[in-house]
Amino acid sequence: MSEDRELDGVLDVLSDEYARSILAEASTEPMSAKTLSDRCDASLPTVYRRIERLKEHDLVEERTRVKPDGGHHKVYTATLASVSIELDDGEYETSVERTDRTASLDADDAADRLTYMWENL
Amino acid sequence: MTIATTPIEWAILAVSAASTAVGLYVAYQAYRGYRRHRSRPMQYLSLGLIILLGVTFVSAFVGSLLLRGGVVPGDYRPGFTLLVRLLQLLGVAFIAYSLSLRG
């Protein structure tokens, strides 16, 4: 049943329009709450509340980015890849797939190293 | 119509072709990075590199063939050079934009 409960939670978060748009924006590149608030046309407190909920379900990943002036701020990346529900023969087959960006970067692969290097430039 | 006659012309051609090949290899890795991680900075980096190295090389090559062969009058040479330089500018502009794609 734990998988079903996980899906309940994920669907519950995704039923929220702001959470969906935050997730969509954060799927293109890591973004600060301020940027997300601008892009999603939502207030900063709204963005933070949605991010908290998304984090509870591991749908976004939080990272600290150091700014050139020495300060730092948090950036968020969507980790949701897909949610699928299939109904077959009286049974639901459900799955939530996530992408783990850092884990998926392979140190032996030129494309991955270049992506990491360029994005962190 | 000859592509190159003197050894130095052949050398110029070979070096340009080699730098294009290496540049396109980097562009290809950037493209793979874009596809694999849905990374927009990588998308623009690969586009920029392809324009900067691939498109300009091909147009410079085809252009000089046309000019040498007399298909296109020599008067067009400066305009043609400008076109290639504009393509280079477009390529680096894409790369610069890719760097500005930050959260």
- Other Cβ atoms less than 10 A from the Cβ of A5: the count is 9
Query: At CB < 8 Å, which residues of chain B contact A?
Result: 26, 29-34, 36-42, 45, 98-99, 101-103
Residues 6 or more apart whose CB falls under 8 angstroms from that of B72 comprise B63, B66, B80
Rounded distance, CA A9 to CA B4, Å? 68
Q: Cβ separation of B41 and A110 shorter than 8 Å? A: no
Q: Cβ separation of B42 and A104 shorter than 8 Å? A: no
Q: Cβ separation of B45 and A119 shorter than 8 Å? A: no
- Which chain A residues are closer than 8 Å to B31 by Cβ? 111
pLDDT tens by residue, A16-52: 999 999 999 998 888 899 999 999 999 999 999 999 9
pLDDT band at B99 (very low <50, low <70, confident <90, very high): confident
3-state SS assignment for residue B89? helix
Rounded distance, CA B55 to CA B52, Å? 7
Instruction: Quote the mean pLDDT of chain B.
Output: 88
pTM for the full predicted model: 0.54
Cβ B101 vs Cβ A118: under 8 Å: no
pLDDT tens by residue, A72-91: 888 898 988 888 888 988 88
